[in-house]
Each structure stands twice: as structure tokens, then as C-alpha cells.
Structure 1
Amino acid sequence: MNWPPHRSEERVWNPRERHGSRADRTLDRITVAIPPRIGQLDYDPTGPVARAHEAALIAIARLEAGFGEHLVPLADFLLRGESVASSKIEHIDAGWRAFGKAVAGGKASDDAKSQLAAVKALIAMVDAAGTGSVGLDDLLEAHRLLMAIDYYTARDAGQLRDVQNWIGGSDYTPINAAHVPPPPELVADLVADLLVFVNRDDLPILAQAAIAHAQFESIHPFTDGNGRIGRALISAVLRRRGLTRRVTVPLASVMLADTGRYFMHLNRFRNGDIDTFVEYLAVGAIHASEAAQESAMALADLPRRWQDIARPRANSAEETLLAALLETPILNADTAQRIAGTTDASTYRALGRLTDAGILELLSESKRNRIWAATDVLAELDALSAAIGRRTIEHI
């Protein structure tokens, strides 16, 4: 389908300071990419793209209806998995043990805190979309949550950029950059136009999410965090249109499996090849949804497996904790006691028995905040990402 490509404009380059190579220091002109306004554009997939789009909608609906409505913990599981995978695309990878510490409020690495911030940002985006629309304030709040963990990034958190940025190339100038987004004075209008597109109800749902994401990445409206917020926007569109109500389709794992292909499709979109990117996301959604169903079945089987291993006494603290582990796989002593509804001593004994049985793992031995995790649940996060990666490499 015909879609307007980005146009190029030459602009004066006036850096505040001169750093880098001689080429960096002497650069005085740059070429920026200006995305088209898409707020009122229409898109109707045809042929193989339309068939992939329809199959993706069916796969997502099957995941939502088959497990999203009946396996409550799946919602948090998929949301966390999507946020962690999205962070890994940006080379932020703490590992699930460190991530578990951050979730429970323990002392955690910067990467773990950043991954948890990505979870909060995604929740904010999806919750806002669930009210019926996505506004600029919602984007800014999600960005604030994402970037607030670090002093330096927090200075630009929750506001559109007022400087020129670029992707790839030199650390100092846009020389040899893979993409130079529009200058800052155009960003606000382009974002406003994008949000018009996002809040329409007359477009094919997954295509709308794909185009919105690619357009967002092309605008690159923030100084940092654009990739994670842009991928969260996909989930927000699916939620706003009502395709998902509880589950989060783990599409970031598709992109993570082959980031080169992902970036290649974004570049094709900028050249006006919209069908390729829509088909890429649709096929990815099929694989992600099918793999998520397999993870859902594995998760649903865990309580029975845990019961067979631990064989807790009826009405004991162990039995109560086991029943809650799928929904609360990471917990500290206070959370465990609240769930068990018993004394400190009884709760600690129960935690100790479940740890000895290999159901729980002690992530932090800090006397002030000991943290346990249900290893099977967190290991399934890695298993899901790996399964999506295998499907993606084999079929996309």
C-alpha cells in the first residue's frame, strides 16, 4: 500500500561544545528525517499482510480468552516479561534474581531498577489506554516513571526533548547515524498528530499498533527511553481497542530475538514500506501469543507440582503460601506473613521448609529485608523469551 515516506531536510548544526573527531568538531550541517503527518491517513492491509493480520488477531484473542480470563497471575507475568525483554533490547539486563530483589523493594542493581521502572511505565501506559484514550500527559507520565530512577536521566523525564538527538553514529554528532529524527521544534506537533492516529477506532487494530510504534520511534520525542516507551505504546493501542483486557502480548521478545531485523523493518517503514512492518509485527504476535499460551499452561500446572513436592499440612502456613505463589512469586517476610495470616515464627518456618524443598529461593539474606522468589515462575520468564526467540528465528 502507498504510504508517504519520510522526507529529508538539511539543517544547521550548532553544537554547544566541540568534541570527538575532527569530522565531529567541524560538522556544520546535518540531514534530518521528517515523518509525514499520519493522523488522518487510512490503511487497509491486503493479500498476505491481511491474512497475517487476521491470524494475529485470532491468536491474541485465543490467549486472552483461554488464559487471560481464567489465570489471573498470567497478566502480571506477561507484563513483567514484556518490560524485561524491552529493556534487554536497550542492553539493560539484570537477570531475574536481581530483578526479583527490585520488585520486592530490596537493594538492587541499576539495571534491575531500570527494568522495574519499565514495568511501571508499561502499566501506566496500558492503564491509561484502558480508560478509552491515550493523551500526551499519559506519554509524559510513563516517561517520567521510566527515567525517574537516575539523577541524570530524571532531569529530562516527563518532557519532550528540546535538543536534536540521533540513533547510532558518533557519541558527539549525528555523523554516520542510522536515523536522525526531526528537529525539536517539530516534535510537539508530530506527537499531537500521532496521538490523533492512536485514538482512532476505524483502523485495523494490530496495524494501528504497528504504525503507531514505528512513527513514535521515528519522531523519537524524548532524549532517552524512546524504545521502551514506543514498545509500550503497542500494548496501549491493543488495550485501548479492546483486543486485550488482561494479557500483554510479549512482542518485545520477538524484537529482541533479532534486533537487526527489527531495526531493518523500522528503516523500511521510514522509506514508505508500511506493509512489511505491519506483517512483521503480525507474524511476531502469532508466535508470541502461541508461546505465551504454552507458558500459561506451564504456570497453571505449578501449584499441583508444588503440592506434590512440599506435601503441606492442611490449613498450614505452607499450604496458604503455596496457594498464593503463582500470583505473588516474589515476596519478603512482611508479604509472606500477610498472606499466611500467622505469626512471624510460623511464617519463617514455612518459608524455610519451602526453600528447603526447592520451591523458593532466598534472593536476599539481608536481615532487614529478606526476599524469596518462586524459582519456577521467574525461570519461566526466561523460558518464554527463549521460546519466542526460537519461533521468531525459525519463521520470520
Structure 2
Amino acid sequence: MKRGLQGTFKKQISDSPEPFQSFIPANLPPDPALQWTPALYQALSRADLMLGRLDGISRVLPDTNLFIYFYSRKEAVLSSQIEGTQSTLSELLLFEASELFPSHKEDLLDVSNYVAAMRHGLSRLASGFPLSLRLIREMHEILVRSGRGKHQNPGEFRVSQNWIGGTRPGNAAYVPPPVQEMKDCLNAFERFLHKGANEFPVLVQAAMLHVQFESIHPFLDGNGRLGRLLIPLLLMDRNVLVEPILYPSLFLKQNRSRYYELLQQVRFEGIWEDWIEFFLEAIAVTAEQAVQLSQRILQLFRADEETVHNGRARSRLPSVYRSMQSSPVALVAQVVRHTKLSTPTVLKALEKLRELGILDEITGRERNRIYRYTKYVAMLNEGTEL
């Protein structure tokens, strides 16, 4: 079955050197309807299974907030890397601990804003606020409030034409709908966001909504990051996950060319099934990786807790060690505030943990030292290396 073009082109005349065609995506759901092939059913079944396992392990984690803190940061780094930022998770943790910037300061601000936007979205959902265009605008305002997008109308849908790739609309890889048609598309997007919950499995609806959001491209900046941020938020909103410990941007980053190719194929050829299978594979693979990573982190914590327990002559070791679990890159002053112990006591405990091979001191300074829980950071950093 061939669907063909999933929308219409509209010729635009502007101040650019030549006329250009903007694309107005058709409203969801696809027409003709999806073909539920055995491959598509199998992909959905595997994704559901792996999400169930991930949700199950999240319920037995000793400190769920600890895992949410770092999984959200990993997703923020990976999603931003797809857009070309040069920040790693290790750098983000160092920045949050000490506000030390590498040369790419704005990249780190972009990633830090992503984390804040995710926190805001989760908080609003927890308070009963619906996943909606209004919430999307609120998150966008936080996402681009500083960094590279700070002059791109944070929190406001665009009032001018944008494009993807190229130097102008006339040579762009993709030109989203003009402003008036964009508004109509967004209204239809929100209707399907709510109505589609009764028509499609949540993961299939998420796959459709992601393409549609990227095709509408309603902001001047941050569309890709916000579109990917909506994936875990939708799963939380629909109670598929109890905690946001999924980072699908890892798979999308590793398969970036295929990701963009499939988005274009949906728009211009109507090949929805290939995209949805790819999306479901992204969910299944990253859910499985999250389960495995959680298990490895728990094993590390158990082993190091045993080492700390054997050194119990220093009775303050356990509390300082737990503080480093929460902030695996930290200034001495941060550990003091977290544990409410004296600075000399904390320093002695940190040095003991270093001697035990659990921590590293990464500045070489006598003052303002920064300690890192190196093995833990290395596990979290997997996949974010440049």
C-alpha cells in the first residue's frame, strides 16, 4: 500500500533570492490507516516487554530519586548531542558541581536547561496539569532561556518562517508550514494528543506525535530537543512508566542518519510503518540498556558499600559515601552541606574513600578540591562520549 505525500506543499514568496515550498503536514492519524504487519506487532510486543521490565526495576531501586537525577541528565546530554552540542555527561556534572565551564559554555547551558525543562514538565504532570500545548510552551521557555537559543522567543510559537538545513528556505532540506497553517496544525496535534489515546497503543501514538511535532516545527529553536523530551513525558502521563528513567536519544544519536531519513520518508512518501518499527526498536533497546545499567550500578553500590562498611572505624564514611552517590562530582563544601558534618571530618572521609579506590580527587589542588566517584560516573557517561 502506498500513501504518498503526507500533506501539501505551499509556494511562498519572500525576501529570499528565490520562491520556496513549505510543507503542511496532514493531520493525524495516517490515512490510509496503519498496516499492522507481523513485524510491527512483534516490535510493539518487544517494546512493551522491555518497558515493563524497566518499570519493574524502577520500583525496587533503593533510591529512585537518585536514578531519576542522573537518567534525566543522560537523556539531556544525548538529545542535545543530536543537535550538535559538544558536552558530555561528565562535563555537565562538573559544571553543576563547580560552575566550571569548558570552552563550549553555551552547550552546557543548553543541556542544563533541558534538565530543568524536564523537571518542570514532570512536576506539572504530577500536579494534575495536562500534557498540552500550554505545557509544551512552558517547557520551551525553560529550554531556551539561556544558551544558544536565548534570543529565539522562549516560550512562544514562531511568528516567522523557519527551515531545517541549508542557509535559506530556498535551499533547505525541509521547510515547515507557514505561521497560519502552523497554528491549525498545532490545534490538530493537541486534539490527537488526547483523542489518539483511545485509538492507538501509547507507544504507537508517541511515534506519530514525535514525527508530527518535528514536521510542524513550531518554535524558532529547540524543536528537536523538545520533541524528544515529549516521549518520556507522554509515557509518564499515560502511566506506562512510574519514573522517567528512559533515554531513547541514545539510540537516536547512534542511528542519527536513519532517524532523519525516516522522518523525511514519513512526510514525503507516507511510510509510517518503517518509522514506527524504528521508534519501537529505539524504545526496546534503550529500555533494555537502562535495565542493565541499573543492575550494574546497584552491583557497584553494593560492592563499595561493603568496602565502606569494612572501614567502619571511620564512622562518618557511610554518610559521606552516600553523599557521593547523590553527587558523584562534588566540591568538599557541597558534601559538608549535604551531610551537615564539619569540613575536617568530611575531608578525612573523602580522603579515606580515595585511598579505598572509590573516589578520585580531580583538581590536584590543596583548596577547593573536587572529588569524583569515577566508576559510577563512567557508567553513567556510557554513550555520551564524543
Please classify the TM superposition score into its range, dividing by the shorter chain length: 0.7 to 0.9
Residue number among 270, 279, 282 corresponding to 2:280 in the alignment: 282
Paired residue for 2:251? 254
Q: CA deviation at 1:296?
A: 0.5
Secondary structure at 1:299 match in 2:
helix
Distance 1:2 1:232 in 2: 31
Distance 1:222 1:88 in 2: 19
Paired residue for 2:42? 51
Paired residue for 1:14? 15
- Note the 1:217-256 alignment, pairs <5 A: 217-256=214-253
Residue number among 51, 59, 63 corresponding to 2:54 in the alignment: 63
Secondary structure at 1:248 match in 2:
coil
CA contact (8 A) 1:125 1:236 kept: yes
Residue number among 120, 128, 151 corresponding to 2:124 in the alignment: 128
Distance 2:380 2:289 in 1: 11
Give CA deviations for 1:328-376 in whole Å, capped at 9, x if unaligned.
3233334312333321211122223323444334456899965433222
Give CA deviations for 1:213-252 in whole Å, capped at 9, x if unaligned.
1100001111111110000011111111110111332110
Amino acid at match of 1:33: F
2:82 is the alignment partner of 1:89 = yes
2:104 is the alignment partner of 1:116 = no
Q: CA deviation at 1:287?
A: 1.1
Q: CA deviation at 1:120?
A: 1.4
Structure 1 residues 50 and 299, CA, compared in 2 at 3 Å: closer, same or farther?
A: same
Give CA deviations for 1:292-341 in whole Å, capped at 9, x if unaligned.
11101111012233235554326722211223433332333343123333
Is the deviation greater in 41-50 or in 269-278?
41-50
CA contact (8 A) 1:208 1:237 kept: no
Is the deviation greater in 248-257 or in 68-77?
68-77
Structure 1 residues 331 and 39, CA, compared in 2 at 3 Å: closer, same or farther?
A: farther
Q: CA deviation at 1:183?
A: 0.9
Distance 1:366 1:142 in 2: 39
2:184 is the alignment partner of 1:208 = no
Paired residue for 1:23? none
Distance 1:274 1:135 in 2: 24
Distance 2:22 2:8 in 1: 8
CA contact (8 A) 1:106 1:369 kept: no
- TM-score when scaled to structure 2? 0.87
CA contact (8 A) 1:106 1:371 kept: no
* Number of aligned residue pairs: 374
CA contact (8 A) 1:299 1:326 kept: no
Amino acid at match of 1:233: L
Paired residue for 2:6? 5
Q: Please tell me the root mean square deviation across aligned C-alpha atoms, in Å.
A: 2.7
CA contact (8 A) 1:86 1:256 kept: yes
Paired residue for 2:341? 342
CA contact (8 A) 2:233 2:244 kept: no
Structure 1 residues 68 and 91, CA, compared in 2 at 3 Å: closer, same or farther?
A: farther
Distance 1:215 1:32 in 2: 15
2:95 is the alignment partner of 1:99 = no
Distance 1:31 1:368 in 2: 60
Amino acid at match of 2:109: K
Distance 1:89 1:6 in 2: 26
CA contact (8 A) 2:78 2:250 kept: yes
Structure 1 residues 375 and 319, CA, compared in 2 at 3 Å: closer, same or farther?
A: same
Structure 1 residues 248 and 190, CA, compared in 2 at 3 Å: closer, same or farther?
A: farther
Structure 1 residues 44 and 340, CA, compared in 2 at 3 Å: closer, same or farther?
A: farther
Q: Which runs of 5+ in 1 are unaligned?
A: 16-25, 387-396
CA contact (8 A) 2:72 2:245 kept: yes
CA contact (8 A) 2:77 2:89 kept: no
Structure 1 residues 2 and 83, CA, compared in 2 at 3 Å: closer, same or farther?
A: farther
CA contact (8 A) 1:32 1:183 kept: yes
Secondary structure at 1:372 match in 2:
strand
2:186 is the alignment partner of 1:191 = yes
Paired residue for 1:394? none
Distance 1:101 1:294 in 2: 25
Structure 1 residues 314 and 366, CA, compared in 2 at 3 Å: closer, same or farther?
A: closer
Give CA deviations for 1:168-194 in whole Å, capped at 9, x if unaligned.
122xx1233211100122223322221
Secondary structure at 2:153 match in 1:
coil
Structure 1 residues 165 and 362, CA, compared in 2 at 3 Å: closer, same or farther?
A: farther
Distance 1:383 1:308 in 2: 25
Secondary structure at 1:342 match in 2:
coil
2:350 is the alignment partner of 1:354 = no
- TM-score when scaled to structure 1? 0.85
Q: CA deviation at 1:33?
A: 0.6
